[in-house]
């Protein structure tokens, strides 16, 4: 027996490619011309990925060592291009694959977001997703003229109202408003376009939108909040939830929880897909894959700063201050990210910081082996969890790795009947709901 067919998405950023691995080509100097990304999305479409998703952030972190030196030196948080501006080019270069872009409810004016996403949905002929985030960094808030972000749960209360408003704006034009009656000289029937007069606690907007209803009606909504407030929000709106629970039992629990919450909101749980982040390590042989992982671990052991910079940015704690060969001191505090810090301590469980960096994975489960072995591991996991698929996180970010997934792993999955070999539909959501 094998699992039902599941979905694959690609998770990444509009950032430079690798440039010191020996397999870097020339993209790290030219990535901002977009050509690497055009090739990438075409490759993923050839491999029948459901979608590519771009995360985003709005700052240059300077927490680690009290300076932006380390993050800029390595290229992590920045430089990063605006994925919304890249999306039209990717849409034009492809025909079926979904394209989801991150836009923050804490920084965008809702009306503007509604129109940009609607425009992208038209440009892509119904293949756009909006990855809804509330943002987590005060440094980003300062770029937008605030002193700090609103508190965590309030951000979700705002996001809730924001999405309600944006959805109403998309709905402010009926699907058949465009009549193009040449004889009577009527382009749009005004009775099918209505103001919404939205007055909420946080937002106001008169409406209507000034553009045609998006082809999908509502572009695909994706979300990744893992807190209770985040999950509750996702259960009301999300078509797809990205998740990072650790290990198969936790994955199952996470998915069951989301499905339960979705059902409690009166929605069909099959219409919210839960997808788990993974970074498979592939090799010609099993041993070769293990060797690659060992080499990767050793590289982190020698240069753990990359991981430390990431944590410094997200927890707003300067990890450069600590002894790498001791555990995180007990008296370290943070203002805004208490639960993240608490989870970190629990997970690190007495490891030295260096070993914590080696052990830490931005993924739900480890996948290592030949393409066929990894396909089998994914099969097994999906049988346990029940669905709905995986998000490949590009590690390392270069053509070689993309090729390994698209031309190695994907055919192995297709052979096992676990992955689509073509797109059944034109719209992103229809493909996501195909199975």
Ligand X SMILES: Cc1cc2nc3c(=O)[nH]c(=O)nc-3n(C[C@H](O)[C@H](O)[C@H](O)COP(=O)(O)O)c2cc1C
> Applying CB under 6 A, which residues contact ligand X?
11, 55-57, 102, 133, 135-136, 224-227, 229-230, 242, 244, 277
- The least distance separating ligand X from the CB of residue 227, rounded to whole angstroms, comes to 3
* Cα distance from N-terminal residue to C-terminal residue, the chain: 17
Angstrom distances, CA of residue 154 to CA of 13, 151, 180, 189, 301: 27, 5, 44, 39, 39
Select 131 or 431, whichever has its Cβ closest to ligand X.
131
298 binds other proteins (CB under 8 A): no
Closest CA to 361 of 347, 371, 341: 347
324 binds other proteins (CB under 8 A): no
Among the listed ranges 135-143, 243-251, 336-344, 408-416, the one in contact with other proteins (CB under 8 A) is: 135-143
Residue choice 22, 180, 325, 330 for contact with other proteins (CB under 8 A): 180
Residue choice 43, 94, 116, 377 for contact with other proteins (CB under 8 A): 116
92 binds other proteins (CB under 8 A): yes
Helix axes 110-123, 83-93, angle to 10 degrees: 20
Cβ partners under 8 Å of residue 369, min gap 6: 282, 283, 286, 289, 377
**What is the C-alpha separation between 343 and 156, in angstroms, rounded?**
21
- The least distance separating ligand X from the CB of residue 56, rounded to whole angstroms, comes to 5
Site for other proteins in 199-258 (CB under 8 A): 203-212
**What is the C-alpha separation between 227 and 152, in angstroms, rounded?**
10
* Structure tokens given for 380: 């097994």
122 binds other proteins (CB under 8 A): yes
69 binds other proteins (CB under 8 A): yes
- The least distance separating ligand X from the CB of residue 428, rounded to whole angstroms, comes to 18
Contact partner, 55, from other proteins, ligand X, none, Cβ < 5-8 Å per class = ligand X
**8 Å CB contact between 126 and 426:** yes
The SS3 assignment for 359 reads helix
Among the listed ranges 45-53, 179-187, 247-255, 391-399, the one in contact with other proteins (CB under 8 A) is: 179-187
Contact partner, 145, from other proteins, ligand X, none, Cβ < 5-8 Å per class = other proteins
Select 234 or 413, whichever has its Cβ closest to ligand X.
234
119 binds other proteins (CB under 8 A): yes
Task: Give the strand pairing for 273-278 and 240-243.
Answer: parallel
- The least distance separating ligand X from the CB of residue 322, rounded to whole angstroms, comes to 24
Closest CA to 66 of 353, 335, 320: 320
294 binds other proteins (CB under 8 A): no
The SS3 assignment for 102 reads strand
Select 18 or 364, whichever has its Cβ closest to other proteins.
18
**What is the C-alpha separation between 216 and 214, in angstroms, rounded?**
5
Cβ partners under 8 Å of residue 244, min gap 6: 224, 226, 276, 277, 362, 363, 364
* Structure tokens given for 375: 């396909």
128 binds other proteins (CB under 8 A): no
Select 159 or 353, whichever has its Cβ closest to ligand X.
159
Contact partner, 135, from ligand X, other proteins, none, Cβ < 5-8 Å per class = ligand X
The SS3 assignment for 139 reads helix
When CB distances to ligand X are compared, the closest residue is 230
Q: Cite the DSSP H helix spans in 265-363.
A: 286-302, 305-315, 338-348, 353-359
Select 201 or 346, whichever has its Cβ closest to other proteins.
201
Contact partner, 111, from other proteins, ligand X, none, Cβ < 5-8 Å per class = other proteins
- The least distance separating ligand X from the CB of residue 98, rounded to whole angstroms, comes to 16
Select 2 or 362, whichever has its Cβ closest to ligand X.
362
- The least distance separating other proteins from the CB of residue 74, rounded to whole angstroms, comes to 6
């Amino acid at each position: 027996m094998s699992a039902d067919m599941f979905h694959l998405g690609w998770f990444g950023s509009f950032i430079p490619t690798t440039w010191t691995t020996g397999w870097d080509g020339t993209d790290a100097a030219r990535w901002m011309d977009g050509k690497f990304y055009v090739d990438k999305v075409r490759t993923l479409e050839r491999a029948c990925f459901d979608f590519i998703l771009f995360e985003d952030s709005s700052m240059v972190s300077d927490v680690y060592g009290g300076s932006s030196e380390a993050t800029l030196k390595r290229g992590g948080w920045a430089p990063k291009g605006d994925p919304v501006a890249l999306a039209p080019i990717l849409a034009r270069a492809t025909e079926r694959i979904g394209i989801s872009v991150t836009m923050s409810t804490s920084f965008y004016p809702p009306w503007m977001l509604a129109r940009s996403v609607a425009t992208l949905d038209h440009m892509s002929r119904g293949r756009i997703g909006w990855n809804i985030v509330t943002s987590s960094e005060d440094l980003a808030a300062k770029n937008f003229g605030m002193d700090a972000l609103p508190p965590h749960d309030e951000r979700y209360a705002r996001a809730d109202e924001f999405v309600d408003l944006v959805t109403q704006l998309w709905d402010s034009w009926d699907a058949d408003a465009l009549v193009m009656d040449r004889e009577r000289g009527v382009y749009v029937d005004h009775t099918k376009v209505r103001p919404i007069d939205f007055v909420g606690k946080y937002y106001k907007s008169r409406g209507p939108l000034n553009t045609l209803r998006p082809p999908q009606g509502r572009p695909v909504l994706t979300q990744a909040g893992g807190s209770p407030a985040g999950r509750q929000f996702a259960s009301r709106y999300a078509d797809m939830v990205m998740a990072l629970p650790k290990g198969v039992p936790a994955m199952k629990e996470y998915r069951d929880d989301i499905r339960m919450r979705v059902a409690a909101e009166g929605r069909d749980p099959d219409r919210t897909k839960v997808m788990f982040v993974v970074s498979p390590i592939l090799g010609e042989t099993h041993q070769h894959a293990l060797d690659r992982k060992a080499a990767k671990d050793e590289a982190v052991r020698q240069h753990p700063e990359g991981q430390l910079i990431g944590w410094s940015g997200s927890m707003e704690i300067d990890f450069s201050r600590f002894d790498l060969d001791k555990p995180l001191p007990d008296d370290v505090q943070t203002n805004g990210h208490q639960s993240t810090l608490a989870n970190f301590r629990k997970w690190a469980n007495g490891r030295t910081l260096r070993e914590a960096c080696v052990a830490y994975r931005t993924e739900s489960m480890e996948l290592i082996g030949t393409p066929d072995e990894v396909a089998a591991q994914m099969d097994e996991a999906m049988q346990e969890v029940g669905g709905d698929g995986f998000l490949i996180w590009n590690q390392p970010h270069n053509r070689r790795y993309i090729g390994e997934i698209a031309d190695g792993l994907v055919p192995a999955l297709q052979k096992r009947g676990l992955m689509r070999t073509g797109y059944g539909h034109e719209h992103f959501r229809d493909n996501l709901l195909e199975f």
